Structure 1
Amino acid sequence: MEALVWAMQSMLTHNKRQMNFQTDCSELVTMVSRPQDWPAFAILLEEVEKCKRSFQAFSLTHIPRTKNTKADKLARSARDQPYDVYYVNTVPPVTLPVPN
């Protein structure tokens, strides 16, 4: 859920207002579509709803790992690395200011 919120905020920051997010977690799709059934995640689900309102078009779809071999291969290879991967993307990270 936190990763989805981060991804949504990142796309909004880059002014991407029409997005189809995809996940291999079917429960995440269920949580977003029926937030009232998941009160333990209310704070994060409220943030998802807030972000959703900023998109012109938004969807979240379930893609089984067996149907997304490229992402599955990347995830497996990252887990096999002897070190932590902190950032993977084609866009350089934006450093956030540290609050005083």
Structure 2
Amino acid sequence: MHCMLRHNKLLTRFETDCSDVVKMVSTPEEWPAFAILLDEVDRCKRSFTSFSIAHIPRTKNTKADKLARSARALPTDVYYVNSVSPTWIPELV
């Protein structure tokens, strides 16, 4: 979310394969153990002109699944957010 805001992408739809993340963002009061993190999510949400988050099963998003699998195969942690893959990540199908 911070990355999208820094790049002035204010009309954004986030998708995740974790249905709990969608539930947490939608009903933060039901997740008191994560209150500090969800407060930060809420602050960020209010900065967007349009914000939505949806669950998308990995079986419905093979490109993201392939990227996640290739990242797990790398010897170090990879944190990458962009709409274009860097050249060092193999082409996705």
CA shift, 1:85, in A, is 3.9
Give the TM-score normalised by the residue count of structure 1: 0.77
Structure 2: stretches of 5+ with no match in the other structure: 87-93
Structure 1 Cα separation of the partners of residues 85 and 50 of structure 2: 23
Of 63, 69, 78, the match for 1:86: 78
The residue matched to 2:53 in structure 1 has which SS? strand
CA shift, 1:91, in A, is 8.7
% identical equivalent positions: 64
Equivalent in the alignment of 2:36: 43
The residue matched to 1:59 in structure 2 has which SS? strand
The RMSD of aligned alpha carbons is: 1.8
Give the TM-score normalised by the residue count of structure 2: 0.82
Structure 1 runs (4+) deviating above 2 angstroms are: 85-92
CA shift, 1:80, in A, is 2.1
Structure 1: stretches of 5+ with no match in the other structure: 1-7, 93-100
Structure 2 Cα separation of the partners of residues 78 and 27 of structure 1: 22
Q: How does 1:1-100 map to 2 (within 5 A)?
A: 8-81=1-74, 83-88=75-80, 89=82, 90=84
CA shift, 1:22, in A, is 0.5
What is the number of equivalent residue pairs in this alignment? Answer: 84
The residue matched to 2:43 in structure 1 has which SS? helix
What amino acid does structure 2 have at the position aligned with 1:73? K
CA shift, 1:78, in A, is 1.8
